[in-house]
Amino acid sequence: MSLTTSLSPTSDLPPRTGDQYTIEHGRYRAVIAELGATLRVLTCDGVHVTVPLGADDIAACCQGQLLIPFPNRIASGRYTFDGVDYQLPINEPDRDNAIHGFAKDQYWRLERLTECEATLSWRMPPVAYYPFDLFVTATYTLDDDGLHILVRAHNRSRHAAPWALAIHPWIANGFDGYGDEIDAHNAQCTLEVDADTHVQVNERLIPVGTESVDGTKFDFRVPRALDEQPYDDALTDVHHDAAGIATATLTRPDGSRVAISGDETITSFQICTGTGFPAEIRPAGVAVEPQTAYANAFNTGIDLIRIEPAQVSATRMSIGMRD
């Protein structure tokens, strides 16, 4: 006996990224997708702040995705936490790494939607490779300064949980380039990140050490042109201002500036120009990712957040134009 069901060709289905939640305030408009609570679109005065992702597109370069419960890579997908060994699925097989967590590939639940705010939630399913019962909410809010993102992770487990996060926006460079020509467009942009240290990596992009940015192409403590590509690098030992905010600023050739910021939990920024990416998937911009920890934190413990049972970890980030 078998049971087969089918949908009529005229059945209404949402886009592949799920329901779309649009919020607006003043000059700003954002669209958040149900899949991964992804920031799919962010515009200011009708101009793209981030490289947009189509509602049915594969986010091949993680455009606008939340990277939780870890950003970047974990070597061979293996880690040990509180004396227990775990093996994550390998989703970067060419480098034998686990990359960018799990929540980006799952549908989230809408909790609240107003004209200028959307809150979505996601609960970590029970799996052996990350058995921690985390309930996560992401709140996107627009105001005069731009987009604010609040991510809260509540540990409902009986045991402590390892945790780190990032958001992966590709900041539009002001052109609509394709493939390798994007390098020349990015080279006309400048980047400023007040960070003292560059994270050195091996051929698998796993950290092997750090170095001072002094005298290197990674010194963005004053605005520096992105004319020494490629970049796919973490900058750490970031400085926070008196309000506890760390900021990276990308300036486009037309002089418009995009600020990507985070609170005291943000300890690094990952910068990626996409140099050498396949032309058909390469975003026309620069990824500027505020992170609570850089690659392989589940193994090194560097900047890793430990959420005790019943406790909550919260991180605030923002993206906005600076006139």
Q: How confident is the model at residue 323 (pLDDT cuts 50, 70, 90)?
A: confident
- Tell me the average pLDDT across 247-267: 98
Task: Express each pLDDT in 53-80 by its tens digit.
Answer: 999 999 999 999 999 999 999 999 999 9
Query: Could you report the per-residue pLDDT of 285-314, keeping only the tens digit for each?
Result: 999 999 999 999 999 999 999 999 999 999
| Mean pLDDT of all residues belonging to the chain | 96
Q: What pLDDT is attached to residue 9?
A: 54
Q: What pLDDT does 3 receive?
A: 40
**What tokens were used for 322?**
């600076």
Instruction: List, in order of start, the domains of the chain with CATH numbers.
Output: 20-322 (2.70.98.10)
pLDDT confidence tier of residue 11, bands split at 50, 70 and 90: low
How do residues 271-287 score in pLDDT, each as one tens digit?
Answer: 999 999 999 999 999 99
Q: How high is the pLDDT of residue 12?
A: 85
Asked if residues 22 and 28 have their Cβ atoms less than 8 Å apart, the reply is no
